[in-house]
Amino acid sequence: MTQDSPDSAPAAEAELELGIRGMTCAACVRRIERALLRLPGVRQASVNLALERATLRYDPSRVDEAAIRRAIRELGYEPVPRASQSSADEEDEAARAARRRVLWAVGLAVPLVLLAMGPMLPGGEALFARLAPMWLWQALQAALSSLILFACGAPLLRAGWSELRHGAPAMNALVLLGAGAAWGYSLLAWLAPGIFPPGSAHLYFESAGVIVALILLGRMLEARARGRASRAISRLLRLQPRTARVLREDGSVWELPVEELRPGDRVQVRPGERLPADGIVREGAGWVDESMLTGEPLPVEKRPGDRVVGGSVLTSGGFAMEVTEVGRETLLARIIALVERAQAEKPPIQAFADRVAGVFVPLVLAVAALTFALWLAFGPEPRLSYAFVTAVSVLLIACPCAMGLATPVALMVATGRGAECGILVRRGAALERLAAIDTVVFDKTGTLTAGRPALVEACWNAPGEARQWLLRVAALEKASEHPIAGALLAAVGEVPLPPAEEVEPVAGGGIRGRVEGLRLAVGSRRFLEKEVGTRAPDAALASWAEAQAGEGRTLVWVAADGVPVGVLAFADPLKPTSAAAVAELHALGLRVALLSGDLRRSVEAVARALAIEEVRAEVRPEEKAEALRQWQAQGRRLAFVGDGINDAPALAQADVGIAMGTGTDVAIETGDVVLMRGDPAAVPQAVRLARATRRTIAWNFVWAYGYNVVLIPLAAGIFHPWTGWLLDPMLAAAAMSLSSLFVVTHSLRLRRAI
């Protein structure tokens, strides 16, 4: 949930997105949001831990971007520009630096552990004593531990100190206090053992070093896992080529950065290349792979006049295209913005987790202090050692990170996986609502059906001449722009047609003319009777036509010289996956309804074919929202699936609006979820993804809270009186690192949800 500042008077408003480096847990999120909302003019601030990004709305007349960046930097975090190819390269360099720190830390920790534990092995103390004085081995421990802490772990310590200095302790502060206490205690015990009670001057150099090494290793593994979680966005960002070959008027070709492309430029594309922008094919032809944008696995043929999408790949052929959209206006850029916006959104449950994390670290500090005091007052000898070990274990095992990652990482994986399959989630909260629906309501035309008529059957008085009659009608209809004419010509195919003469289209009725010496009339039965004066058809034709009308099909009559000779039946055919999609929704336990403005017979025919029981037909677009309200008044939770253009009121009224698209034509600003391919099979896919996301988030929170509730008392030594066992600080640090890693890797399972 985005946090709102009380300062919300209406004025000019700007939006800013910034990357933020250095965040480790939900407490960091809470801290940055509070600092930003204290700035004058900042109205909304939302920080996402998984994406490492802040989104703000502010009044530019009262606060500028420099002040916002300065406020973030003063907290000890680094604001960076939003994701791009260059910033992705910088992130790769930061990852390499983190890997080097981990390798050095682990490499130094191994001999450190051997030096610390070697004397405890049978015969080890005598062996070490023969090789060198014990003080030298202890000095080596101090040196190795110091290198790990102050060289490899320097970023952790700096961040922890910044948190303490600003009075907002978070994960790094716990590490600083835990590892720093172990190192400082050991240094004093080594240099001045006399100041400690008898039996308490133990060295914990290996604990301090291994703690930092484990935390660095855990964060590197977590960062890698989070990188896998955001892989979909990274892939989309890398779809944009860096250069384009622009054709000049003199025939020359210039290679320019894509940032310099402008609408109207002509660009040459060769096989194997990615298209640099959206545009229209002007010369040539080819097959284009749009799978990364629409999820459609097969290449699509593109000819002159066809639209093409930037980021898609020309697999064969070659063409020149005219650029129509560039930069943020391209479909690829809008898809990336759409997915990023959904990933950055905070559902209410995550806002609650952030509030808990805001008080979690101070509570852990209090528990650690209480643990130290109780062991020092009532523990067995050596009390100071017991008190120290338990307090450090409490500091290190506490993990607010998992709470901060529970929702955003799951949303990141789910929305990214959806985008790869052509399912764009515009709002993160829509997944939560989609998981809770009990009814899916479909529009008919263009959603379950192809949205264009097709010739399905024909009946002629002279069946032996059916093909010739069809060619004659096609010759007449060639002059018409009516969709029925297009369907007829598509059914005939690209074959020679007889010449047509005296062709006369009649608005709202049909068309007439002369073909092969016959005076033909093609249109509705009323047109033939009133305009042409044909006689009644024979019984066979009339009976066949009546049966076809009962199936909801559109009838076109054909008369020759005033005599009815045939009937053509057209229908809007079902999409190939419609039946399977409805069956799968039923299998998921959902009710399916059909809501359409088409004629009742046509709608009921589709419902029968798909086994849909609830049907409302002849409903105008403005009445669809009211129909949905009536269902919702019965307590039903609805997803409405429509074309995203004519169904905007219904999409807005539904609990979840799902807009069907066809790749480049999709209205991606409509609906909560956009199906790029316009494939009904994506609807049950989206439901399965939403349900899996809800389960994953729930289990993430069970783990995040359960881990802390169980292991903090364990680290405090609550079972020691009965078991005599205490948790080693090194194990506590390992458990803390694994806790966050579990949440991230558990969320990655969503990649297999669909």
Closest CA to 97 of 231, 229, 220: 220
The answer for residues whose C-beta is within 8 angstroms of residue 426's C-beta and 6 or more apart is 338, 341, 342, 668, 671, 672, 673, 674
- Our measurement of the distance from residue 224's CA atom to the centroid of its chain's CA atoms, rounded to an integer in Å, reads 18
E-strand ranges in 70-138 read 78-80
Cis peptide before 380 (omega within 30 of 0): no
Q: Which residues are within 8 A (CB) of 112 and not within 5 positions of it... i.e. 6 or more apart? A: 141, 144, 145, 148, 205, 206, 209, 210
- Report the alpha-carbon distance of residue 580 to residue 586 in Å, rounded: 10
Q: 317 — alpha (psi -120 to 50), left (phi > 0) or beta? A: left
Inter-CA distances, 539 with 461, 531, 568, Å: 10, 22, 16
631: left (phi over 0), alpha (psi -120 to 50) or beta: alpha
For residue 321, what are the contacts with CB-CB under 8 A and spacing of at least 6?
Answer: 266, 267, 269, 275, 279, 280, 281, 282, 308
Closest to 664 (Cα-Cα) out of 312, 342, 419: 312
364 neighbors 712 (Cβ within 8 angstroms): yes
Q: One of 59, 354, 443, 647 is an active-site residue; which one?
A: 443
Q: Which two tokens stand for residue 88?
A: 């992705």
Tell me the CA distances in angstroms from 684 to 53, 671, 752, one per residue in order.
Answer: 31, 16, 15
- What does DSSP assign to residue 230? T
Check if 265 is active-site. Answer: no
Give the list of residues 6+ apart from residue 403 with CB closer than 8 angstroms, or none. Answer: 25, 26, 353, 356, 357, 360, 701, 704, 705
For 120-135, b/e burial (b = at least 16 CB within 10 A) is eeeeeeeebeeeeeee
Contacts of 496 (CB under 8 A, 6+ apart): none
Q: Catalogue the active-site residues.
A: 443
